[in-house]
Amino acid sequence: MGTLIRSGARWLSALKILDAFAQSTLRILLTWILVPYEFGIYGSALLFIGFIQAITQTGIIQALIYNKSPGSYLNTAWTIEILRGLIIYLLIYIFAPFYIDLMSIESGEEVVKAIRILGLMIVFDSCKNISVVLFDKNIDFNKVFKLELSGTLVKFFATLFLSLYLESFLGIVYGTLLGYFSIFIMSYVLSNSRPRIELDIMKAKIILNYGFWIFLNSVATYLMFRINELFILKFDGIEELAIFQLALFVSIFARDSISFIQLRVLFPVVSKYQSSIKVVNKIFITNFEIACLIYIPIGTTLFILSNELVHVFFDSNWQDIASLIPYLSIAGIFASFTGIIESFFKGLGMPRHVFLFSIISIVILILNINLIFGYGPMEISMSILIASISHFFLIFFYYVKFAKMKVKKFGLRSLIIFIGACTPLFVLTICGFLVDLTIASNLIFCLFLSFFVYLLFLFLLQKLFHLKTIGYFL
């Protein structure tokens, strides 16, 4: 089991390190090329496309991974996905103007243009070789690495070149589309299997039955993560949306890049061992402690250094994101923990639990926005923090009860790990008193220092307490 997880994690780690570097570098460079308004056009287009995707989600990919013998279902699944992609694009093309009117978006023609071009990425994605799902099923992340890296590199260079050349939002739009096209091509290069058009009603019912809960969860997830952006777009406008989206990107991108690795491996592994709850619980505790060692340092670093990071790396047009990052970064820590628990429910074949707790979180978020805080970016950031904390504690204690775990199983070991995870926060706090962190050289030095001290502290904890989780992390 450990070898299986480590092998998959190595490939995904390499993928996400490269992806994180490419995405963050690209985003920073683009903030010096484009103004918030142009980012807002791109962001508002993706909001609408994401909504249409969510309400047409089939859950077929997850159903194939969960199924013990997915091979015989591939043709039917591919046929359904192609039909879905074409239907989605038709809906996107037709309803884009209605979305503009509903959200009262200025310069609606530009947004409609962006929506109709970006919508083609759904067609490319749905028509790619369905056999690539077997890469995840078999935890063959070597091929996943090659597949997704192609899209990352094409998107990076195409977006940067086209943005410099066109000096408009169209550079991001075309660059994103070319990234999806690259993955479409590579899916057929990397897999020897060639699916064919086939629609077996019985097979469709089987995979769509599992996918029904994935569909509901997809809608809930969209609302949970995007309804706040819809409020900002509706009540504050495109530029405020761009500010909020960039703050969200900075706050959760590093966390999402790493959690992608963890969750991508966890789902098929938990599915594999779903018949043994004792093994699953051991995997749960180990992954929860690893999450503490990763997400707490990232989130707390962003929390304490938000002003300094924005001052050093971003153009003056984007300085407002500094006030939002502290709330969103802490919310990101709890959201990471929640994502781990959701992967266990999905891997155990119970996605309905994920859906139900997502609905509760959405209700909490909406109540906070409408009754307590308000519709501005700052107010919505505070609402997200409260909803994220509530969501985590509710689903955590439910899982503990469901899996018949005892909270004391986490015990002293987990407490030590939690304290160790806070080491970068302590180091950076001291650095803030000693040097001016708005100077780029000082900031970078202190970040490296905190990372070095953190690894050293973990090494000492490992030697003193012989904690297996820290040994795995190191």
Q: What's the rounded Cα separation, in Å, for the pair 443 and 314?
A: 14
At a CB cut-off of 8 Å and minimum separation 6, what does 330 contact? 299, 300, 303, 385
Q: Is 314 helix (H, G, I), strand (E, B) or coil?
A: coil
Inside any domain, residue 134? yes
Q: Average the pLDDT over each of 14-23, 333-342, 391-400, 464-473 and give the range with the smallest value.
A: 464-473
Inside any domain, residue 420? no
Residues spanned by the domain of 23 = 2-409
User: What is residue 374's predicted lDDT score, i.e. its pLDDT?
Assistant: 84
Residues 166-173, mean pLDDT to the nearest whole number: 91
Inside any domain, residue 459? no
Percent of the chain at pLDDT above 70? 88
User: What is residue 290's predicted lDDT score, i.e. its pLDDT?
Assistant: 82
Inside any domain, residue 443? no
- DSSP-assigned letter for residue 439: S
In angstroms, the first-to-last Cα distance of the chain is 18
Residue 408 reports pLDDT greater than 80 = no
Q: Average the pLDDT over each of 16-25, 120-129, 205-214 and give the range with the smallest value.
A: 205-214
At a CB cut-off of 8 Å and minimum separation 6, what does 230 contact? 47, 103
**Apex CA 19: angle with CA 18 and CA 20, to 5°?**
95
- DSSP-assigned letter for residue 318: G
Q: Average the pLDDT over each of 6-10, 137-141, 169-173, 371-375 and give the range with the smallest value.
A: 6-10
User: What is residue 468's predicted lDDT score, i.e. its pLDDT?
Assistant: 59
Inside any domain, residue 77? yes
Q: What are phi and psi of 195, to 5 degrees?
A: -70, 160
Residue 4 reports pLDDT greater than 70 = no
Inside any domain, residue 133? yes
Residue 171 reports pLDDT greater than 90 = yes
Measuring CA to CA, which residue among 135, 132, 194 is closest to residue 8?
Answer: 135
Q: What's the rounded Cα separation, in Å, for the pair 124 and 182?
A: 9
More confident residue, 61 or 51: 51
Residue 223 reports pLDDT greater than 60 = yes
Residue 269 reports pLDDT greater than 80 = no
Q: Average the pLDDT over each of 140-149, 167-176, 183-192, 421-430 and give the range with the smallest value.
A: 140-149
Inside any domain, residue 435? no
Inside any domain, residue 439? no
Residue 3 exposed, middle or buried by CB count within 10 Å (0-12, 13-18, 19+): exposed
Residue 242 reports pLDDT greater than 60 = yes
Residue 1 reports pLDDT greater than 60 = no
Q: pLDDT per residue over 17-38, tens digit each?
A: 788 788 888 888 888 888 888 8
Give per-residue burial for 175-209: e unless 16+ CB within 10 Å, then b.
Answer: bbbbbbbbbbebbbebbeeebeeeeeeebbeebbe
Q: How many domains does the chain have?
A: 1
